[in-house]
Structure 1
Amino acid sequence: MSENQKHRRDMTRRRALVAGGGVVVAAGIGVGVVSTASAGGAAGKKAAAKPTAGEACYRLTSETTEGPYYIDADKIRKDITEDREGIPLTVRLKVIDSDTCKPLTGAAVDIWHCDALGIYSGYESLSTGGGGGAPGGGTPPTGTPPTGTPPTGTPPTGTPPTGGPTGGPGGGGGGGGGHEEPTDDKRYLRGTQLTDKHGYVEFRTVFPGWYRGRCVHVHTKVHVGGKMTASGYEGGHTCHTGQLFFAEVAVLDSAEVAPYSTSTTERTTLDDDTIYPGNGAEGGLLTLKYKAKKIEKGVLATLTLGVDPDETHTGTSS
């Protein structure tokens, strides 16, 4: 390899690490392309080697609102799928102290999200997702939208259409509007894991769908200072409340697979979402890996969360 080629490779690697997030589409064994943190998922160079420990030390991950559909279910489990259909998704998160860059051991990490058709467990009657002619209007997204431009049928600039329930998906869904009390006893696509000695947790779930007013996302919380009891994780405090986001190219790929392809719900793009801070991995943009043109086989989503264990961020304040 020439010095010029080596320099270009190193520059590409640094850009990918700084931007964070994106999509790695595996075209074959040992071959892939990596997308940077742009919402459209523009292709870049071949995937670089794994970052060193120093390179993986990110700044504080952005805090967001809790959203109206959080339930402290205390379900300590790795597989949160239950009976939900959809593209298999593995979410692998590493939690580190943003000051020391050391992994946090024994921290409790919650995730929760809607199913393939935009429905939240515990709030099925309030959710506005749907498919096969269900209320919501619009058509399934097709093609690749220009950067910053939502596809046909998507609410402009991420503003939710009127008529949705206050605080629910139609009214800012997952983003704000205050907490709603659960309307049913379902708890699919919700769970908690404790970080191991290296700061990792891993969940098995399905790729989320979309609902009116929000881009595709997963909610997360990190709790520290508590302990495991017979009733679950208790005590301590919440040091991080955030959301995890998906590059547009992966969302559009998922929209071609059932049951996502049956959805007629209006969709907001990553660029036009009112919650995503637009700052790549620091803002919660996941790195996604799946086989080209075979997303239905499964997706691996990874991210390092930099948190301040001494702070309290419940995501409930305006």
Structure 2
Amino acid sequence: MPANPARPPSVSRRRHLLAMGLGGAALATLSRTAPAQAPAEPSPSASALPLPLTAQTTEGPYYFDAGKVRQDITEGQPGVPLEIRFAVVDAAGRPLAGKRVDLWHCNAAGVYSGYAGQTDDHDQRVSTKGQTFLRGSQPVDATGTAVFHTIYPGWYEGRATHLHMKVLDGSRAMLTTQCFLPDALSEYLYTQLSAYRRKRVRQTLNSNDGIALQAGDTTLGAVREANGRYIATLTLVVDPSATSKAERFPGPGAMMGGPPPGPPPDHGKLVALEGEARVAAIVPGVKL
């Protein structure tokens, strides 16, 4: 069956945001996170100072090399179309042409492909063994760019909205990191669109996700609205001599049927914020 993805919200977005209690502050935030153009290729002569390296983060339990070199990783998954554009450079701003970017993330329901033992919104165990949706690889071109076509990711307990990626030189991972997306936009999509709507309220936001807080600004993606899709951009500044720390998550074993690790053990202690406190946590610069 061909995909029938939801389109980005129309001009009625303002009315819905007001109904959610986010109002003008959220709209201003979406505007701040939506540059008019994708970031230009960094110029080595633009600054004498080296660019800050993109923070390494945990790989997480759901990575495997699907062997899929492709731009479109959707595989019919429902959701809002999202184009992801990575600029992959070294600290001097030079493009790392010929390297490879792997991208993987959960679907609108918060489930990853390729694994058994995941939990859906109804606390039922689900299996996606043998599936490869929302996974793929792209070579970095001569301008330092790697582009993917996918859907806006959903969420699951214990984590803020995020994408996973690796930058590889052959079999060596130079960077393993995550990209965090604006909470104000995520909040709108998750509450207004049926593909994303859940019976639970998100507890974990960018402002209280431990991985996001530790990684910092170098992992915050910028999102802008385009015709029929959103476009997310992030510059990945990589040390070409680095090697990502190997993690001991159960990869093939989990794919064969054993459940992968769940959310961080303290996620149950978090309480979903409401009202003004939630707006303050979601919208940068808003204070109670």
- TM category (shorter chain) comes to 0.5 to 0.7
- Amino acid in structure 2 at the alignment position of 1:214: R
TM-score by length of 1: 0.61
Residue 67 of structure 1: aligned partner: 60
Q: Does 1:104 align with 2:39?
A: no
The change in CA–CA distance for 1:279 and 1:69 in structure 2 (over 3 A counts) is: closer
> How is 1:157-176 mapped onto 2 (pairs within 5 angstroms)?
none
Aligned residues: 218
Shift of 1:79: 0.4
Matches within 5 A, 1:66-105: 66-98=59-91, 100-105=92-97
| Structure with higher RCO (Cα < 8 A, 6+ apart) | 1
Q: Describe the SS at the equivalent of 2:184.
A: helix
Could you list the runs of 5+ residues in structure 2 that have no partner in the other structure? 1-8, 12-25, 250-288
Closer/same/farther in 2, CA of residues 249 and 45 from structure 1, 3 Å limit: closer
5 Å-filtered alignment, 1:78-227, equals 78-98=71-91, 100-123=92-115, 125-130=116-121, 134-135=122-123, 184-224=129-169, 226=170
Q: Deviations over 1:167-217 (max 9, x none)?
A: xxxxxxxxxxxxxxx971111000000000011000000000000000110
Cα distance between partner residues in 1 of 2:207 and 2:140: 31
Distance 1:238 1:276 in 2: 20
Name the CA distance, whole Å, in 2 between partners of 1:193 and 1:288: 20
User: CA–CA distance in 1 between the matches of 2:56 and 2:33?
Assistant: 31
Q: 1:316 aligns to what?
A: 247
> 2:177 maps to which residue?
242
Instruction: Write 1 or 2 for the structure with the bigger share of strand.
Output: 1
- Give the aligned residue type for 1:75: K
Change beyond 3 A, Cα 1:208–1:97:
same
1:205 and 1:239, CA in 2 relative to 1: closer, same or farther beyond 3 A? Answer: same
Any unmatched runs of 5+ in structure 1?
1-24, 28-37, 137-164, 166-181, 227-234
1:63 shift after superposition: 0.4
2:212 pairs with 1:276: yes
Rounded to whole Å, the distance in 2 between the matches of 1:200 and 1:45 is 20
Counterpart-to-counterpart distance in 2, 1:204 and 1:42:
21
**Structure (1/2) with the larger helix percentage:** 2
State the Cα deviation string for residues 3-37 of structure 1 (Å, max 9, x = none): xxxxxxxxxxxxxxxxxxxxxx998xxxxxxxxxx
**Secondary structure of 1:309 counterpart:** coil
